[in-house]
Amino acid sequence: MDQKTVTTGDADGLPRTPGGQPAARTKRRWLQLSPVNRRRWERFKAHKVGYRCFLVFATLFLLSLFAEFIANDRPLIAHYKGETLFPVLVDYPEEKFGGFLAVTDYKAPHIIEEINANGWMLWPPIRYSYDTINRDYPGRLKAGETTCLGYPAPPPWATKLKLCDAPPDQIARYAPLGNTNWLGLDDQGRDVLARVIYSFRISVLFGLLLTILSSAIGVFAGAVQGYFGGRTDLIFQRILEIWNSIPELFVLLIISSMFVPGFWTLLGILLLFSWTSLVGVVRAEFLRGRNLEYVRAARALGLTDWQIMFKHLLPNAMVATLTFLPFKLSGAISALTALDFLGLGMPIGSPSLGELLLQGKKHLEAPWLGISGFIAVSLILSLAIFMGEAVRDALDPRKTFRQSK
């Protein structure tokens, strides 16, 4: 029969059984949520739209992390002369297949014939990477004319134009289901679907990194400013006023003229200006809570200022802060897309949703380019916004939901 534990006033502070023996403490698992967080999680799941958007967003993001296994111009597995190869993971020279180049082009006709004659290849569902040019595309005849149209090329299911005349072996390489360009080709002959998949991964990773880093810096600055107050608060306010008055776009133009824009360069530039958005919220929470009774009690027990800030005040301040994170994520993704659209973002050739939208603007006769980019961007932003609404409702103690049975 289980014995009930009662709290005694012993020096060790441990609960004891009626017999005076210390009761065994139950260890809390690191994944086990507290009762408050469990109620918040239930509220989040009760927000049907936000929870489903979270599941969709998480699934798409996890799949995009393995984009090389979904869309790639290299086979996943190749069996050649009794040897099992993994081209998707290892760079094999062309000498291994009887060639002389340092890098193997597995879509080259002589490589395909050589491997098929001495083994087999297992391809990913989409046989194109984000920078693969479909050289087997024969073009399509313009309606009522003999002109052969090149790139950009429409999706096969969205056009009734006939293919241009081409050698039989080229048509045979273009015909298989795995070589189908489901969203067409862009103006350089690259598969649009493959570029959307890789662009989705880069956009979300960029947004997550920018959101996490800027939030960490902003929370730290706001905590210091709000807790210490006084002269520290005044100095930080003047610094923020000067910093926020700097034109971000001009700084980006100057740095882009000095350095080649890249993923980490853009992340660093946007991080310089995006961390200030959370300072005011955290500062207000710390100003409100620094004189509460539990803070005075912690200070009387001998806790240092930093222990009080990060163990007592910060958890309470994070409730208001977390509601902004999904919206900061959507803002970061929008910023990267806008910079790519203006030509100030990722290097030329990199997978980018903004660059895809720019192609759609230049080629109005190819609506599949603009539509593909618009749907991808709107999907990401819509999922992030609905997740943000669910997070806001979950962290609101006044919000109640009717649990569906």
Q: How far apart are CA 154 and CA 296, in angstroms?
A: 68
Note the maximum CA span of the chain. Answer: 99
Instruction: Note the pLDDT of residue 71.
Output: 93
Place of tokens 């390489």: 173
What radius of gyration, in Å, describes the C-alpha atoms of the chain?
29
Please choose, from the candidates 205, 199, 352, the residue with its C-alpha nearest in 3D space to the C-alpha of residue 264: 205
String of DSSP letters for 56-108:
HHHHHHHHHHTGGGTB-SS-SEEEETTEEE-TTTS---GGGGT---SS--TTS
Instruction: Note the pLDDT of residue 18.
Output: 54
Please choose, from the candidates 130, 128, 145, the residue with its C-alpha nearest in 3D space to the C-alpha of residue 179: 128
Do 46 and 401 form a contact (C-beta atoms < 8 A)?
Answer: yes
Domains and CATH numbers, the chain: 74-123 (no CATH), 137-180 (no CATH), 192-395 (1.10.3720.10)
Instruction: Note the pLDDT of residue 19.
Output: 55
Instruction: Note the pLDDT of residue 296.
Output: 86
Instruction: Note the pLDDT of residue 55.
Output: 94
Instruction: Note the pLDDT of residue 122.
Output: 92
Q: How far apart are CA 187 and CA 200, in angstroms?
A: 20
Burial zone of 231 (CB within 10 Å; 0-12 exposed, 13-18 middle, 19+ buried):
exposed
CB atoms within 10 A of CB 5: 15
Is-above-0.95 flag for pTM?
Answer: no
pLDDT means over runs of 10, the chain (405 residues):
44 50 52 76 88 94 94 92 91 87 87 90 92 87 78 87 83 80 90 94 94 91 88 89 84 79 88 88 86 85 86 80 86 91 86 92 90 93 90 72 41
Instruction: Note the pLDDT of residue 13.
Output: 46
Distance from the first to the final alpha carbon of the chain: 35
